[in-house]
Each structure stands twice: as C-alpha cells, then as structure tokens.
A and B are shown apart, each in its own frame.
Chain A
C-alpha cells in the first residue's frame, strides 16, 4: 500500500518521471551495448566528450565538441518549443517539420536577395523565417479554429507541400543546382567569430542566443500573460474556456501561429547558422519530428524543453565519437526511441491511474447516485 503511494507520487510529478524515463532509456541502451558484445564504457566516454570536450582515454581537451553539441541542440530546442506551445493549447503540431522548412527557405531567400547591410541583413532573414513559419502554422490554426479541420492531418499534408515548395523555389534561384544555391553574403549568416574561437572552431553561432531567448519568451507568454492563461485554459478544457468567454477559436489560431514561428526560427538557425549557402533539400532534416520527442520529454515546459533539447542534441552529436570507439552509432537512436516510448507509457500509466481513481469513486457509491 505504502509503496504504491510512493509510485503514485512519483508518477504525479512530471519532472521526476522525465528524469526517471531518461535514466531508464540509458539503462536499456547500456544493456543493448553489452548484448552486442561491446563495452558500454565507450558509449559513456563519447557522451562525456560531447558534453565537456574531455577525451578521457587520450587525456586531451577540445572545446569544439561542446560547440557542436550546442549547435545540434539549437533547432531541436526551437522545434520542441513549437510542439510544446501547441500542446499547451491542446493541439498536436506534427507540422513543425513543414514550418521549419518554410522558415529555412524564407531565410535562405532573404539571405540571397536582401542588400548585404550588416546586422539588418540577418535580422531580416530571421524575421522572414519567423513570419513564414507563423504563416504555415497559422493556416492550420485557422482551418482548425474555423472549420474544425484536424490539425494532425492538415499539418502532415502541409509538411509535403512545404518540402516540395521549398525544392521548387530554391532550384529556381539562378545558379542553383539540385542540392545547393550560390553562397550568401557574409552579412546574412549567424556565424559568430567569437563563439567559434571560444569553442575551437566549431559551428556554434548566434542561433544559441536565439534559442535561449525563445525559451524565455515561451515561459513568459505561457506562465505570465493573460494570453498564456487563455491558451492553457483552452488546452486543459476547451468547453470550460468557451463557457468562460475565452475566444477559443482565436486561442487556437494564435497558438498555431506562435508555434509555427518557433519552428520557422529553427529553420533560420540552421540555414543561417550552420551553412553559408542555400540548400535544396533532398529530404526531411527531421528536426521538426524530433521536436515532438523533445517537447514530450520536456513536459511542454520552457525549462524542460531546453534541457531535453540539450539531451537529444547530445545524443545526436555524440554519434561520430561513438563510432570511433567501435560503438554502433545507432545506439543513440535506440536510446532516444526508448525514451519516447517510455514517456508515452507514462501517458498510458496516467490513463490507467485516472481510470482506477474513477473506478474507486464509482464503487464508493458516488457517481451512480448522480
């Protein structure tokens, strides 16, 4: 009985569950590495090197690894915010990928065609990306709010539209071939000599601050403003929100617009931060889809998304280091996959607990009498 109580308490606190679930994912990953006859120490050494730059076997320190880790985390955090923001309003934004793509494309376009004025150039590119993402999310939001079109279906479809639209627009740019456009002027990029030097020549760029600012913005809107209050009320109980006079349709539309904007910024951070030319996409970058996992593990809280974005970024960027230690890099994918599965299990466990609580009250003789 007492032990059961403890379990319920743990399951009630989202943060501890997330930590527990991540731990469980790592434990399973370790077991798997053992099962294929490798030494899991190599896996953890690779992760340590990613997080601190410290190579424990060769006793050398290289800050570049830290830089690469943070760089990989930027779009994950931004896409996690996109998914999380919609989720707080009760929406499932599976279209962060499409919003990311239109953001990326818009940023590249502005980078190529806007006059190369310092600062203003990348600001304009960033703004264009945010707007494009907001538009892409907004279309879905308005369809959902006005005509009750399922946001899941609409966003999935728009992912394809975004992808092929992006290819078509980018290839139409003079000098573009099937995989790239000409170079941007240097005024367009988010590259930062300072951050590069600090991290020994990594690709770390000003996108880092963009991601941090976005987290702050997310937290402020959701927790501190009356807009956030309406969005959360809509997400938790749409009917009660409507009854209270909260314009639910507007909440839904604005939530999708803001969610799209986050994903659009993610596109800009990749396009302007890690590249100096426009890409003609050959496939999904998958940041948008991974953002779903980031938001799930981060419980759709600003701080949680930041932390889980860094975690998933670490897993991604430690892959080459694992390979060099003869650990199959796929193990990182397995760990992320397991973490997501376990998190979803929590949803199942929650459903089970709710069901049991309901049953307990029913048998207590209450609802039958109503």
Chain B
C-alpha cells in the first residue's frame, strides 16, 4: 500500500452562485509528480488555495502524510512542508535573489542583524544540489523569467518544503525554458520531493507526470496513470466530449500584400526608458493568409499591435494598408481603411462593460447610417436589429439578447461578441491578439474556426499569441519576435517547435548550433 503525501477527501467549497469544488478527492502519493488537469473554471485554483490555507473548505478532510490537519493560513501550510510556486511570481524586483528568498524568514546572527552571508551560502548550496544554477547575489530585475521562477522554487526549498505545488508554471516560459523546468522536476523527484502540477496543457502532463487527477466544472472526474492514458483520452476527460485540436485549413495561395510594416520603431510604456520596445521591425501580411507572431510575453508584441492600431504613437518607420500610409493616421481613419482589431484585453479595450450588448456591437459604427439617422439621432431599432443578426450568426449566448449588459456575459461570449463586431466590419486586415486567453475548449474551437474562415474569405490576418499550439494550428507563416525585433519568419510547413522556440529566445536561425 502506498503512502500518500497529501489526501484531500470530499472537498466542497462554494462561493455565492458558484459551486467551485463539489466533493473533490485528490490523493497524491509520496514522491510522485501528480498533475491536476482542468479547464479554466474547473476548480483547480480553488482546490489548491484550500490546500495552501487561503480558503477554508465548506466540508471535507485534508490529510498530510496520513495525519488529519486543518490548514488555516499559508504559514501553517509552510510549516507542514507545503510550498507553492505561483503563476505570477511574487518577487521584489530591486532586491537580490538572496534577499527575496529570506524575506519574511530572515536568519539572524548572534548580534541580531540579518545573516545575509550565511543565507547566501545556504542558497548557493541548495541551488547546486538541485541544479538550479541561480546566482544568489543577482538582482531580480536583471535575470530572466525562467530564472525568476527558479528563485521561486528556491524560496520554497529554503523553507524546507517537501511538497511543491506549481500553478501553471509554463505560461510565461519559452519552449526551451519549459524543457529546463521539466528537467528540474526530475531532479526534485530524485531528491525525494513530491510535486503537484496544476495545468491545462496535456503535453506537459504526458512529459512529466506519473498520475493525473482531472476536474471538470468543479467536479472530480477521475485519477489516471499517465503512462496508460492517451492525450486524447485526457482531453476527453477534461472537456467531457471528444475534441479535435487541429483546425482544418485548406491550402491557399496568398494574394497581394495588405499590411506592410517597414522599419518600425516604437517606444515602450515606460516613458523614460531609452530602449525602444519595437526596433526597426519589418513584416508584411498578404490577402488570404494568417501570419502568426510568436513570442514570449513582454517582447514588444503589445507595443507593436498598439502602434499598428493607433493606440500608441510610432517613433519612426512606415505602416501601410493596401498601399495607404496609416502610420500616423487617427484610429478612426485606420478603421475606415479596413482594419479590424480583436484586442488582447477585452475588458480594457474590447468592450464597454457598462453598455448593453447591442451598443457594444455598434461601438465602431454607431456614428454613421443606418445607426445614426438625420441630426445625429440614433436609431435604437437598427442597433437592436444588428445585434439580433450578429447573435444568430455568431452564436453569442446572452441571457437577455441584445439588451444584455456586457458585464453580465461570460468571457467566451464577450470574446465572440468582439469577434463578431470586428468581422462584421468586413475589414481587409484583421489583427487578433490572444483571441482564446482564458476561454474554454468549446469557445476556442468556435473562435479558431472563425479566424480560418476569414482567411479563406481572402482577408489578411495577423495573429498574436503566447500559445505556440495556437500559432501552429492556425498560421500559414510564423514570425518570431524577441526583444522587439523579428528574429525570423518561416513557413508553417518548415517550422517546428524547437526552431520557433530558439527564435523566440532570440537566436537567429543558422546560429543555433554554436549557441546550444
């Protein structure tokens, strides 16, 4: 009989209007890598928050190493040897690695001051033991994201954790960094640690986990041996039906160039930073093709899109749509030149949440006929009818139809509404940023099909995504961006994950060999 490191039995937790965890059972064996798989909203984070003492369960029992416990707060969890690496790191940027690790738990010398020297050597020893390769004296702001994550790991190892929880650890990493992380998992396991991996990515589970517990809509679906279970089966358990992850994409010969960017330089959000966020960037998108921009978050994608769409002024360079220079045109002029834009942040840019759905669907067209009649008077009837049409055509689910307040709609339907609006403008060029972030599989399928349909209609599409799978599934050509520069552009057929990953990390093709 195996011994369990953690047992969470029949855990139930409800929030007003939501049953987040419905009698969920999670049993993690000692010294295994155990994955918790589920879509957004399946209840993974709630379950982990309960284990970590952030929330109290309504009912159910928790046992750590066979002993029943009540975990009241994170400090209690830490004392039980449970540590968590959060998806969003909790580090002080202008502190050193050591300072961050000992923060809140500072060792004292006999004189009563902080024993930083001792801590540094302890951390160095831990880093070597687990092969983490972290410099204890480096400042957080000067090290890479992957390294920051290893600092988080060190932080919990320093607190003598034996059970490590990773919440979506790969979301911010390049493919190479992900490989590194997988190796770190192996080493942690070899040193006797137990790992709980929370994720919605099947491939990672196949690559590292021993067993996997699947949740769906707050319910426990099952725990399986990963070695005996196919990816397809896992997906089916997660979603509740068979899913096809690949989108059918007929080959198509691209037409004339629609969007052309020439030597574009854009300054970043931090006003004083002398370093531009986009540097001498050039690319083009043709009719009937999808160009994917692959890159790790924060490499200038946001600034590039904002520059193309007019939300951010450009420093130098040229942007043209079908030959028309729009680099310094107003946003309205760009929309009229045929640019549709599905923004990254649908709450900040995409929707006016306090407006009704029908008002949101005419956000870019309300000022002109048929929605505005003579003397600037709006036609409520036309606005309503437009919404009725789009709701039917794009399968937008909204409780009160066109009169539904945008804020009361689900994320997937909000996104469908934005896509409906942008496609309905019938733009020549569709710019789409992070179209499926935070959405469930059903909505993702629907949205992917829409994007490919636009390409097949002959539109030019520029797609920005942090999900490489999405890029590979949808795009005809893939451009990799790193530190605001295009590292290379390749045909999808000729690309593979290693190649794109290397480019995302800033290695120019052909130099790969020498670098690694």
Contacts and interface: CB of A to CB of B under 8 A. Distances in A.
A364 interface: yes
Contacts of A244: 331, 335, 363-364
B41 A243 contact: no
Nearest to A360: B15
B43 A245 contact: no
B351 A227 contact: no
A239 B353 CA distance: 12
Max chain B Cβ within 10 angstroms of own Cβ: one of A225, A236, A240:
A240
Q: Binding site of A, secondary structure by majority: helix, strand, loop or mixed?
A: helix
Interface string A240-252: 1111111100000
A245 B349 contact: no
Given A227-B376, A237-B354, A365-B46, A360 B363 contact: no
Interface in B167-204: 167-168, 200
Interface range on chain B: under 10, 10 to 19, 20 to 34, or 35 or more? 35 or more
B166 interface: no
A224 B377 CA distance: 6
Interface string A210-242: 000000000000001111111011001101111
Given A224-B378, A226-B378, A244-B364, A363 B20 contact: yes
B89 to A, nearest CB: 13
Given A241-B352, A365-B46, A229 B359 contact: yes
A249 to B, nearest CB: 11
A367 B438 CA distance: 8
Contacts of A224: 377-378
A13 interface: no
Contacts of B332: 245-247
Nearest to A4: B16
A230 B354 contact: no
A226 B363 CA distance: 11
A12 to B, nearest CB: 10
B437 A370 contact: yes
B200 A369 contact: yes
Contact of B350 (A227, A233, A243, A370): A243
B331 A242 contact: yes
B372 interface: yes
Interface in B378-425: 378, 411
Contact of A364 (B15, B200, B309): B15
Contact of B372 (A226, A362, A365): A226
Given A232-B355, A365-B47, A366-B45, 11 more contacts: A226-B372, A228-B378, A229-B367, A230-B367, A240-B350, A245-B332, A361-B18, A365-B38, A365-B45, A366-B40, A366-B41
24 contacts: A226-B366, A226-B367, A226-B376, A237-B348, A237-B352, A239-B349, A240-B351, A240-B363, A241-B352, A242-B331, A243-B311, A243-B349, A245-B332, A245-B334, A245-B335, A360-B17, A364-B15, A364-B18, A364-B20, A366-B41, A366-B411, A367-B438, A369-B41, A370-B438
